[in-house]
């Protein structure tokens, strides 16, 4: 059986080349992109302005397929989280955060993460593999059209764009999965796909310096850096990657990136850890560290998980820390924690992925055993599993 080409894997130029292989002109690729990414259509027969001969070719050679949804939960604050199956017992999570003036989608780029930051539960899951282009852009494709369906049911505004901003801040380090991430970015920005502004697409990195430079030349979007420490000794402990790319090199990379970036500042993310990185002296060290880098700070209240051994800074301590940065002339915000009740808050994206995957495996085995040994076997599995 022939392997089908998943058209979600192809950026605009690749789709033009694919159409050329089928004997079709470049404008067919633009039509295809609009059907797929603007209207969410996966059935080629429904793409009514394509020639019947092209639809027949596509039906036997191509597909439009995103990862299967394992679960779909909505928080009390409206945050929505999907758990997606990416095969071989791996799952990823995608989170939508609705606000009055925008809707932000948080996308994963890897199954697990190899960076292993102390304060991030995703890192404790370990690294499984890089995601493909279709698995990355497929999160946006899936979420956009799932949200449109819900919007239509709830308010009668079916078909309206729901996602205005995308952040590469989900599971994984985007710059360690560089080419698929960049291809997905190009689709997000393309006018025949999602047409997002470079200013509305943000890539967050823990500081892979050579890839920051590479991104600035291949597809510069807004840049966020997971900083979380004011000196190398502390950052080495919190983010092991810092031993390879210390703060001095990271600051220089940020300055170089700003020559190409769509925004004239870098966002530094800073997770507030009680008694670890939240002292007044840390704030003053930060002012000295970033004095030559146009930036803003986003202070993130830590979302505790047992394996970390860390605690969230008190609200009063976070406010004092912010005041020192503000007094030093740095625009500083404190991130509002969203989706905690469904483990969708920052640093929680691993959530219970592995546990849920094991539950799914047990349920499948339970069904198989019940067929073989009878319905009562399930009770034994529940007790001993």
pLDDT tens digits, one per residue of 239-255: 999 999 999 999 999 99
Provide DSSP, 215-266: HHHH---EEEEE---SSHHHHHHH-GGGGTS-HHHHHHHHHHHTTT-SSSSE
pLDDT at residue 151 in the model: 62
pLDDT at residue 118 in the model: 84
Same domain for 27 and 152, yes or no, is: no
**199 φ, ψ to 5°?**
-70, -20
In degrees, to the nearest 5, what angle opens at C-alpha 69 toward C-alphas 67 and 75? 130
Residue 303 lies in a domain: yes
Please give the tally of structural domains in the chain.
2
Same domain for 152 and 278, yes or no, is: yes
Number of helical (H) and strand (E) elements in the chain, helices listed first: 13, 14
> Residue 28 is inside which H or E element, if any?
helix 26-33
Query: Among this protein's residues, is 271 annotated catalytic?
Result: no
Residue 357 lies in a domain: no
Which of 106, 113, 120, 346 is flagged as catalytic? 346
Q: Would you say 269 and 226 are in contact if contact means Cβ atoms under 8 Å apart?
A: yes
Residue 276 lies in a domain: yes
Output the six-digit token pair for 139.
């999160």
Same domain for 28 and 91, yes or no, is: no
pLDDT at residue 338 in the model: 59
Predicted structure pTM score: 0.85
Place of tokens 């497929």: 138
Residue 383 lies in a domain: no
Segments in the chain below pLDDT 50 = 152-158, 344, 346-385
- The DSSP symbol for 160 reads -
Same domain for 125 and 36, yes or no, is: no
Query: Among this protein's residues, is 346 annotated catalytic?
Result: yes
pLDDT at residue 363 in the model: 41
pLDDT at residue 343 in the model: 57
Residue 108's domain spans which residues?
Answer: 68-351
Same domain for 104 and 15, yes or no, is: no
pLDDT at residue 377 in the model: 32
Same domain for 75 and 54, yes or no, is: no
pLDDT at residue 336 in the model: 80
Domain CATH code at residue 236: 3.20.20.70
Query: How far is the C-alpha of 380 from the C-alpha of 385, rounded, in Å?
Result: 8
User: Which of the listed residues 34, 63, 92 is the one where a domain comes to its end?
Assistant: 63
Query: How far is the C-alpha of 132 from the C-alpha of 146, rounded, in Å?
Result: 21
Same domain for 36 and 180, yes or no, is: no
Kindly give, in sequence order, each residue whose CB lies less than 8 Å from that of residue 367, ignoring residues fewer than 6 positions away: none
Residue 235 lies in a domain: yes
Q: What length is written for the chain?
A: 385
pLDDT at residue 116 in the model: 86
Q: Would you say 108 and 131 are in contact if contact means Cβ atoms under 8 Å apart?
A: yes
Same domain for 140 and 84, yes or no, is: yes
Q: Would you say 226 and 298 are in contact if contact means Cβ atoms under 8 Å apart?
A: no
Burial of 279-314, coded b for 16+ CB within 10 Å and e otherwise, reads: beebbebbeebbeebebbbbbbbbbbbeebebebbe
Which of 19, 24, 93, 173 is flagged as catalytic? 93
Residue 236 lies in a domain: yes
Query: How far is the C-alpha of 114 from the C-alpha of 266, rounded, in Å?
Result: 24
pLDDT at residue 169 in the model: 93
């Amino acid at each position: 059986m022939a392997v089908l080409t998943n058209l979600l894997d192809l950026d605009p130029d690749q789709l033009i080349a694919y159409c050329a292989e089928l004997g079709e002109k470049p404008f067919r690729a633009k039509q295809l992109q609009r059907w797929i990414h603007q209207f969410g259509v996966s059935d080629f027969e429904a793409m009514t302005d394509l020639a019947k001969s092209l639809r027949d070719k596509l039906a036997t050679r191509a597909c439009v397929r995103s990862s299967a949804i394992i679960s779909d939960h909505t928080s009390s604050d409206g945050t929505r989280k999907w758990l997606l199956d990416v095969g071989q017992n791996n799952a990823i999570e995608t989170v939508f955060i609705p606000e009055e003036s925008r809707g932000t989608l948080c996308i994963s780029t890897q199954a697990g993460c190899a960076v292993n930051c102390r304060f991030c539960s995703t890192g404790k899951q370990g690294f499984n593999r890089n995601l493909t282009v279709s698995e990355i852009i497929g999160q946006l494709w899936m979420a956009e059209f799932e949200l449109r369906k819900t919007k239509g049911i709830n308010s009668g505004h079916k078909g309206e764009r729901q996602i205005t901003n995308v952040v590469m801040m989900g599971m994984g380090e985007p710059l360690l999965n560089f080419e698929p991430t960049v291809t997905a970015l190009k689709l997000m920005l393309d006018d025949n796909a999602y047409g997002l502004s470079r200013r509305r697409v943000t890539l967050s990195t823990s500081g892979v310096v050579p890839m920051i430079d590479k991104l600035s030349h291949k597809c510069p979007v807004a840049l966020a850096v997971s900083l979380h420490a004011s000196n190398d000794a502390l950052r080495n402990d919190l983010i092991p990657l810092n031993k390879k790319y210390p703060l001095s090199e990271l600051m220089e990379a940020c300055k170089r990136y700003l020559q190409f970036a769509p925004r004239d500042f870098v966002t530094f993310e800073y997770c507030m850890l009680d008694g670890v990185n939240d002292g007044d002296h840390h704030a003053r060290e930060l002012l000295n560290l970033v004095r030559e880098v146009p930036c803003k700070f986003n202070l993130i209240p830590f979302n505790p998980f047992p394996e970390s051994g860390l605690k969230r800074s008190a609200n009063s301590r976070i406010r004092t820390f912010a005041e020192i940065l503000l007094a030093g002339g740095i625009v500083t915000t404190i991130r509002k924690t969203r989706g905690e009740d469904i483990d969708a808050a920052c640093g929680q994206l691993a959530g219970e992925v592995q546990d849920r995957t094991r539950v799914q495996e047990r349920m499948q085995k339970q069904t198989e055993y019940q067929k073989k040994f009878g319905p009562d076997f399930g009770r034994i599995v529940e007790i001993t599993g």
